Every structure is written in C-alpha cells, then in structure tokens.
Amino acid sequence: MKTAISALLTTLTLILTTSLVFGAARSWEVDKAHSAIYFSVDHIFSKTRGHFNEFDIKTNFDPAQLDQSSFVFTIEVDSIDTNITKRDKHLRSADFFDSGKFPQMTFTSKKITDAGDGLYNVAGILTVKDKDYDLTLPLKLVGVTEHPAKKGTEVAGFNGTVMLDRLAHGVGTGKFYDMGVVGKDVEILVTLELLSSK
C-alpha cells in the first residue's frame, strides 16, 4: 500500500513539475478592428476584392513552444462583403458558397513549423461546405511589441498570403469559369493583430 501511494505521489510530482517547465503556449486574442481576411479573384480582366466581416480566431502561440501553439479560424460565410449587395447575395447562393446550408468555414492548425526569418508554416485542415482539405498557411511574424495605446498589453502582428483553387474546394461548379467570367484561383490575404496581457 505504501509503495502504491509513494508511486502515486511521485507521478503527481512529475506531472506538476513538467507542467511548470513546459507550460501551454501563450494565449492571444484577435483585435478584430485591426485584423482582416481578404480575398481577390479575377473577373474577366479585372480583380474583384472582398473580405469577411465576421470571423473569430483563437490563438496560442510561442515561438519556443510550437508543438503547443495553434491557430483556429472560424469565418461566417454570410458576412462576405465585396461592396456590391447584389454580388454578395450571389456569392452566398448555391452557385458559390451556399451559405444557407453551410454557414461557416473553418481552418484548424495541426502543426506549426519555423521556416526561418520570422516565417511560420501553419499546416492544418480547411473545412469548406463540410468537406475537409489539407492547407498550409504561411504566416510571417512581423513583430511583437508593447501596445502603444493599451498599458500592460502586448501586440503581435502576422501577415500571410495563400492561393486557393475555389473549384477544387467546391466553391462553384465551374460554370462561370468556363464562361470566362470568374476565375478559379483566389488569393487570400490574412493580416492579424493579436493581443495578450503581459
């Protein structure tokens, strides 16, 4: 009995000690007023640009603890905004996102690797219309500094771009691409300011 209790105490001590040494990566809150998810796609000859007004990002990040770091993006599809109401309504329809059936898109990181010079490759699963796709989002850590307007708060900045084939991700049937109206390759720009208490 004493041996079992002793072993249990040893195990608990080891767990507590390990937790102190290898704590969870730091939690960051997205500053939505200074963060955005933009996109750009060809329309015949021009570039049509837009963004999503409603999104959430849950982040734990520490360059020294990448195995415990993570990014989780949740995007409300109905919040798509290209500055033209009629076009936004069409993008929400079954011709493209079908937001009535699939109201959210998500991206959940599985592994983050340091590519050098402040660049981190965030590999994870992109879910569009309830289907999962492998995606690696390269995010450049622009910097970390004390927030000039919020005492006791630090701000971290990330920027990243990735090109997606919308047809390969189920956004459209190819009808408008075949007509030469809407391109299939969409450039995504993610720009983030994340906040954390010191």
Q: What is the mean pLDDT of the chain?
A: 91
In a domain, 114, yes or no: yes
In a domain, 133, yes or no: yes
pLDDT at 16: 40
In a domain, 179, yes or no: yes
pLDDT digits (tens, 9 = 90+) for 29-47: 999 999 999 999 999 999 9
pLDDT digits (tens, 9 = 90+) for 121-156: 999 999 999 999 999 999 999 999 999 998 999 999
Look at residues 195, 73, 157 and name the one whose alpha carbon lies nearest to residue 122.
73
Total count of domains within the chain: 1
In a domain, 10, yes or no: no
In a domain, 180, yes or no: yes
CATH number at residue 83: 2.40.128.110
pLDDT at 20: 34
Q: Is 125 helix (H, G, I), strand (E, B) or coil?
A: strand
Of all residues in the chain, what percent carry a pLDDT higher than 70? 88
Range of the domain at 78: 25-197
In a domain, 136, yes or no: yes
pLDDT at 135: 98
Burial of 128 (0-12, 13-18, 19+ CB in 10 A): buried
Look at residues 168, 160, 159, 164 and name the one whose alpha carbon lies nearest to residue 186.
164
